[in-house]
Chain A
Amino acid sequence: MNESLSHIFIDAFLINNFVLCVFLGMCSFLGLSAKFGTAWRMGVSVMFVITVSSVLAYGTNVILVATHTEYLRIITYIVIIAATVQLTEMFIKKTSPALFRELGVYLPLITTNCAVLAVPLFQTARNYNLVQSTVFAIAASGGYCMSLVLLSLVRERTDLSDIPSLAKGTALTLILASILSLAFMGFAGMSSGG
């Protein structure tokens, strides 16, 4: 596995966008995209958690492989993520109480976001080294953040338009997501390079 860093980045950010093409992090994608303000804050905190937990998981995996205890992988990764979320919470609380108040409710939810667990699992499955893993984590979480913001912008527009009462809520969001994902399919043509 000797992929170039730029290829990893483009692949995780656009071609295999975590939300719109691989269906990860759907719950928060559908649940937290109603307002632009919460969407980008959530996106940025998920980016932070994913990047930190990806680096930590890389280190842990080295130990797991060395001691032949790969069957503990899922459990250790989920513990790492829970710890990172806790740390992020404490860090934000100390440095910026205002931001903490705004994010408060959403922070613990990051633990059960499957995009966060998927990054360490994918990087292990693809045998990325430390630099590749970090780039992959930043690109994947950046892609998550971008699609969350894109959907929230569209949803803020649809608030003002006249929609049949039947389609209001989740169904409309799903149709919007489907159109967005249709647009992202166009990037699939870029995958032959690199």
Chain B
Amino acid sequence: MHDTSGNPFLNGLWKQNPVFVQVLGMCPTLAITNSVKNAVAMGLATTFVLVCSNGLISMVRKLVPKQVRIATYIAIIATSVTVVDYLVKAISISVYKALGAYIPLIVANCIILERAEAFAGKKPVVPSMLDGLGMGLGFAFALSCLGTIREVLGAGTFFGFSLFGPNFEPWVLFLLPPGGFISLAIWLLTFTLWRERKARIATEQAALEQARKAAALNVIAEVRS
């Protein structure tokens, strides 16, 4: 499942998207996405942590004995998260308040440890940082998808701008916890539908190709006889 071949950057952004394909890092995905602004901020914070931790882990990968690698990874991740915690506080206090406890909780986000174990612990520094950037932006993209559904339906706004005018009755449920679960389910269903359709078309085309080849062989056999 964890295919690390191909371009590490594009891989994380789409083919191995952490939320829609690998279903990792669910806590911030569901908790922070009640507005697009928060979703983007959380996505960028996670991207920063991923790039830092992937780069650092890849630098020390040859110095760390195998038995203590997880502990080392976690210490490095916790350091990057502390940096982000103070960075967000310095940039925008309102965003910091909205993200609340979820910034320190980036430490426990399974995406970061998973990338450290699956990629950064084995590869050189530059691809590792690219992988972190791709995965992080893929995560941010997924968060914004969810945030869009929830903000548009739940508050009738997008990035704080009103969309439907004053007569719109907001569907508050989508801002509340059940809305988070249901909108992620909707996105997952959409992507599964799309992927299954693509796979079906591919198999149909392969079958068609085979039938054509078989027909061509028959013609050749007939001509020879």
Chain A residues at the B interface, C-beta cutoff of 8 Å = 20-27, 29-30, 71-75, 78-79, 82, 111-114, 116-118, 121-122, 125, 166-167, 170-172, 174-175, 177-179, 181-182, 184-185
Q: Tell me whether chain B's interface is mostly helix, strand or loop, or mixed.
A: helix
Query: With A23-B31, A112-B113, A114-B27 in contact, do A174 and B184 touch (Cβ < 8 Å)?
Result: yes
The smallest C-beta distance from B42 to any residue of chain A, in angstroms, reads: 12
The smallest C-beta distance from A46 to any residue of chain B, in angstroms, reads: 13
Q: Are B177 and A118 in contact, CB atoms less than 8 angstroms apart?
A: no
Give Cα A20–Cα B31 distance, bound, in whole angstroms: 10
Q: Are A167 and B189 in contact, CB atoms less than 8 angstroms apart?
A: yes
Chain B residues at the A interface, C-beta cutoff of 8 Å = 23-27, 29-31, 71, 74-75, 78-79, 81-82, 85-86, 101, 104-105, 107-110, 113, 176-182, 184-185, 188-189, 192-193, 196
Q: Are A178 and B181 in contact, CB atoms less than 8 angstroms apart?
A: yes
The smallest C-beta distance from A97 to any residue of chain B, in angstroms, reads: 23
Can you list 6 residue pairs at the A/B interface with Cβ under 8 Å?
A23-B180, A26-B26, A27-B26, A166-B196, A167-B189, A174-B185
Give Cα A113–Cα B82 distance, bound, in whole angstroms: 18
Query: With A27-B110, A166-B196 in contact, do A171 and B176 touch (Cβ < 8 Å)?
Result: no
Interface core residue of A74, A82, A170 (most chain B CB under 10 Å) = A74
Q: Are B101 and A121 in contact, CB atoms less than 8 angstroms apart?
A: yes
The smallest C-beta distance from A148 to any residue of chain B, in angstroms, reads: 14
Q: Are A118 and B78 in contact, CB atoms less than 8 angstroms apart?
A: no
Q: Are B181 and A174 in contact, CB atoms less than 8 angstroms apart?
A: yes
Give the top 9 A-B pairs by smallest Cβ distance, nearest first: A26-B26, A178-B181, A114-B108, A23-B31, A174-B185, A75-B78, A178-B182, A23-B30, A182-B178
Which residues from A are CB-within-8-Å of B74? Answer: 78-79, 82, 111
Q: Are A75 and B189 in contact, CB atoms less than 8 angstroms apart?
A: no
Give Cα A174–Cα B23 distance, bound, in whole angstroms: 11
Give Cα A185–Cα B179 distance, bound, in whole angstroms: 11
Q: Are A78 and B101 in contact, CB atoms less than 8 angstroms apart?
A: no
Give Cα A25–Cα B109 distance, bound, in whole angstroms: 10
Q: Are A116 and B108 in contact, CB atoms less than 8 angstroms apart?
A: yes
The smallest C-beta distance from B113 to any residue of chain A, in angstroms, reads: 6
| Residue from the list A21, A26, A178 in contact with B27, Cβ < 8 A | A26
The smallest C-beta distance from B115 to any residue of chain A, in angstroms, reads: 13
Which residues from A are CB-within-8-Å of B176? Answer: 185
Which residues from B are CB-within-8-Å of A122? Answer: 101
Q: Are B27 and A112 in contact, CB atoms less than 8 angstroms apart?
A: no
Q: Are A23 and B23 in contact, CB atoms less than 8 angstroms apart?
A: no
The smallest C-beta distance from B132 to any residue of chain A, in angstroms, reads: 17
Which residues from A are CB-within-8-Å of B179? Answer: 178
Interface core residue of B26, B182, B189 (most chain A CB under 10 Å) = B26
Known: A74-B78, A167-B189, A171-B192. 5 other contacts (CB 8 A): A23-B30, A25-B27, A114-B109, A178-B180, A182-B178
Q: Are B193 and A166 in contact, CB atoms less than 8 angstroms apart?
A: yes
Query: With A26-B26, A182-B178 in contact, do A75 and B105 touch (Cβ < 8 Å)?
Result: no
Q: Are B192 and A166 in contact, CB atoms less than 8 angstroms apart?
A: yes
Give Cα A99–Cα B165 distance, bound, in whole angstroms: 59
Query: With A23-B177, A71-B86, A166-B196 in contact, do A178 and B185 touch (Cβ < 8 Å)?
Result: yes
